[in-house]
Amino acid sequence: MAKAELMDYDKALELFEPVLGFEVHVELNTKTKMFCGCANEFGSGANTNTCPTCLGLPGGLPQVNRQAIESSIRLGLALGCEIAETSRFARKNYFYPDTAKNFQTSQYDEPIAFNGQLTIELESGRQVTVDIERAHMEDDAGKLTHMGGAAGRIQGADYSLVDYNRGGVPLVEIVTQMIEGGEADSPEIGKTYVAAIREIVKALGVSNARMEEGNVRCDANVSLRPRGSNILGTRTETKNVNSLRSVERAVRYEIQRQAALLHAGGTITQETRHWHEDTGTTSAGRPKSDADDYRYFPEPDLVPVAPSRAWVEELRATLPEPPAARRKRLQAAWGFVNLEFQDVVNSDLLDVLEATIAAGAPAQSARKWWTGEIARLANAAGVSAESLVTPAQVAALIELITDGTLTDRLARQVLEGVIAGEGTPSEVVASRGLAVVSDDGPLIAAIDEALAGQPDVLAKIRDGKVQAAGAVIGAVMKAMRGQADAARVRELVLERAGSAAAEPAPSESAE
Amino acid sequence: MSEITAEQVAHLANLARIDLSSAEIDRLTVELGQIVDSVARVAEVATPDVPATSHPMPLTNVFRDDVVVPSLTVDQALSGAPDRAGDKFRVPAILDEE
């Protein structure tokens, strides 16, 4: 594959205006498939969730999953769409082994939801309203594995293997109108838009929303219009861009690639392109079929879906607070600066943080623990932070710090115990004997010993050089194995040294 | 008269993966043209207040509950496949299509 020429991004934007469009496929998390009772689950043994209907065998008869309709309507409503009074399924005919039916059951001219809007906010604070053309229902295709040839790529494969477990899983495809005026922000608009969709479907609970498992997949359409022209350029559709970062990179790449090609006098072919995560490039796929070539026609085996207005309103009443509004509300309530709040959002910790704070923890402490020590341990273990500890446990841990039972350092050890399954934070404190030594007796003994061992430091403290106390505090903390409150140790060191700083009223030196 | 051409019929045949001889294409061009003309005559009498009919029965909202029912076994699922590899269907290289 020859490496494409790329134009410098700034120069590309000087010469051309990018026009975008996105198709986001959301896999619904229903228990069963769209049109049959086979389980909708990720990771089962190959071809264990199939039946005559999803395999397209003679005699198979599709039946619509009510839950999938409800999820689709709720998603449509959350995107500000109108819900169709009558909606129909249609066959989209094509021959490709990812479906055994030789057609995809989709919707054509009567989608369940249409005319929506989604406003997203970029990092600069710029707001962009994306118009949603439609959100329609369809079934997913099976999964192909290309064997032989160049490492799993289609190009050069000797043969392919098919697992139809995913075939027939319910999808909602959300199609935007053309997005103009994105300019240099275009790649970020792509990323932010897909992130917003992901956040919405997660808040609705209609999808597992894991991009790495293909629950949310994005096709990015990009075309360039020469400055001063009002004629749209030919677009390419980059398929299956499956991480937020990839959406951003793929849009940027296509802008640079198309600009170089157009500037050199070439033409853009209307085609689907494949995104390669490893090289950060796209390569040509098949020429895009015209809709005519799919020979859409109404699915004869399924009757229309005509949701009553009462049903739609009932579903509207179940919508959660929109994620963007919720973020604004929580940030204000918690008093986080943007950077702190973004950190929480980007780490996917909004829910656990909210629960931890609801369980009584101060917002800043909760943030510090989740984005700090817990995230670090989760990263090291390669798991999610919320799989390690519960919000209630974290709140209890913070409570033990606040009431003086634990120092931060001890709390980290307690956290490890909790993660290791040794019980609640209080139980770990008891079983590991980790509480701060609150009795001054042992502290004073350790301090006197440390002072006696460092007479020069003692002299300095008595001379009023209070910062010299650090060396003694360190020695005492070490002797106490960290189970002392450093602030209290400091107080006691100054007191025992009898320095001026320890006593409010100046007095004669003890000597 | 309809404007169905031999090229359109050949294109359709290719999309439907039907291997037609040129004689068959010629015959079908005429026949499809007649069908299109007939449908056009129906369209003439159908006023805008007559909605297009996709389903002859006045039924809507036929749903099933979201309850899992047993699937086929892997061997049953693969029993009609021309070729298999382990528990998967094995299909020829498909680079022509993509």
**Which residue in B59, B77, B94 is closest to A47 by CB distance?**
B77
- Residue A510 in any domain: the answer is no
Considering the domain architecture, whether residues A306 and A328 belong to the same structural domain is answered as no
Residue of A nearest to B96 (CA): A286
Considering the domain architecture, whether residues A309 and A334 belong to the same structural domain is answered as no
Does A123 contact B at CB distance below 8 Å? no
The number of beta carbons lying within 10 Å of the beta carbon of residue A23 is: 16
How high does pLDDT run on average in chain A?
89
pLDDT digits (tens, 9 = 90+) for A290-340: 667 899 999 999 999 999 999 999 999 999 999 999 999 999 999 999 999
Does B80 contact A at CB distance below 8 Å? yes
Dihedral angle computed from the Cα positions of residues B49, B55, B60 and B64, in that order, rounded to the nearest 10 degrees: -160
Do residues A201 and A76 make contact, with C-beta atoms less than 8 angstroms apart?
no
**Is 60 exceeded by the pLDDT of residue B53?**
yes
Cβ-defined contact of B62 to A64 (cutoff 8 Å) = yes
Considering the domain architecture, whether residues A333 and A311 belong to the same structural domain is answered as no
Q: Which residues in chain A have their CB less than 8 angstroms from residue B54's CB?
A: 88, 298, 300, 304
**Is 50 exceeded by the pLDDT of residue B64?**
yes
pLDDT digits (tens, 9 = 90+) for A405-448: 888 888 998 999 999 989 899 888 888 877 776 677 777 888 88
Q: What confidence tier does A504 reach under pLDDT thresholds 50, 70, 90?
A: very low
Q: Which residues in chain A have their CB less than 8 angstroms from residue B18's CB?
A: none
Instruction: Report residue A271 as tokens.
Output: 């085609």
Q: Which residues in chain A have their CB less than 8 angstroms from residue B64's CB?
A: 37, 63-66
Looking at residue A265, its pLDDT comes to: 92
Considering the domain architecture, whether residues A309 and A390 belong to the same structural domain is answered as no
Cβ-defined contact of B95 to A157 (cutoff 8 Å) = yes
Looking at residue B65, its pLDDT comes to: 98
Cβ-defined contact of B97 to A51 (cutoff 8 Å) = no
- Residue A381 in any domain: the answer is yes
Considering the domain architecture, whether residues A231 and A294 belong to the same structural domain is answered as yes
Looking at residue A503, its pLDDT comes to: 42
Torsion A69-A70-A76-A79 (CA) sign: negative
Domain ranges of chain B: 6-45
Does B53 contact A at CB distance below 8 Å? no
Considering the domain architecture, whether residues A199 and A171 belong to the same structural domain is answered as yes
Considering the domain architecture, whether residues A427 and A444 belong to the same structural domain is answered as no
Cβ-defined contact of B66 to A65 (cutoff 8 Å) = yes
pLDDT above 90: percentage of residues in chain A: 63
Q: At a CB cut-off of 8 Å and minimum separation 6, what does A313 contact? A: none
Looking at residue A31, its pLDDT comes to: 98
Residue with tokens 């090289």: A279
Q: What does CATH list as the number for B6-45?
A: 1.10.20
ipTM of the complex: 0.89
**Secondary-structure breakdown of chain A: helix, strand, coil percentages, each rounded to the nearest 5:** 40, 20, 40
Residue of B nearest to A288 (CA): B98
**Is 50 exceeded by the pLDDT of residue A508?**
no
Considering the domain architecture, whether residues A260 and A301 belong to the same structural domain is answered as yes
Phi–psi pair at A74, nearest 5 degrees? -60, -40
**Mutant choice from B89, B96, B97 vs A, greatest count of A C-beta within 10 A:** B89
Rounded Cα distance, A335 and A282, in Å: 43
Cβ-defined contact of A63 to B59 (cutoff 8 Å) = no
- Residue A507 in any domain: the answer is no
* 8-state DSSP, A454: -
Cβ-defined contact of A51 to B71 (cutoff 8 Å) = yes
**Which residue in A86, A93, A162 is closest to B91 by CB distance?**
A162
pLDDT digits (tens, 9 = 90+) for A366-408: 999 999 999 999 999 889 898 999 999 999 999 989 988 888 8
Q: What integer is the mean pLDDT of B66-73?
A: 97
Does B56 contact A at CB distance below 8 Å? no
pLDDT digits (tens, 9 = 90+) for A117-152: 999 999 899 999 999 999 999 999 999 988 876 655
What CATH number corresponds to the domain at position A449?
1.10.10.410
pTM of the model: 0.80
pLDDT digits (tens, 9 = 90+) for A332-361: 999 999 999 989 988 889 999 999 999 999
The number of beta carbons lying within 10 Å of the beta carbon of residue B13 is: 15
Instruction: Report residue A409 as tokens.
Output: 């350092």
Considering the domain architecture, whether residues A353 and A459 belong to the same structural domain is answered as no
Cβ-defined contact of B93 to A47 (cutoff 8 Å) = no
Q: Which residues in chain A have their CB less than 8 angstroms from residue B68's CB?
A: 31-32, 37-39
Domain count, chain A: 3
Considering the domain architecture, whether residues A274 and A148 belong to the same structural domain is answered as yes
**Mutant choice from A161, A206, A305 vs B, greatest count of B C-beta within 10 A:** A161
Q: What integer is the mean pLDDT of B43-60?
A: 83
Does A320 contact B at CB distance below 8 Å? no
Q: What confidence tier does A203 reach under pLDDT thresholds 50, 70, 90?
A: very high
**Is 50 exceeded by the pLDDT of residue A256?**
yes
Looking at residue A500, its pLDDT comes to: 43
pLDDT digits (tens, 9 = 90+) for A150-187: 655 666 678 899 999 999 999 999 999 999 999 999 99
pLDDT digits (tens, 9 = 90+) for A457-493: 888 888 777 787 888 888 888 877 777 777 778 888 8
Considering the domain architecture, whether residues A105 and A208 belong to the same structural domain is answered as yes
Considering the domain architecture, whether residues A138 and A285 belong to the same structural domain is answered as yes
Domain that holds residue A193: 9-315
Interface of A with B in 129-158 (CB under 8 A): 144-145, 149, 154-158
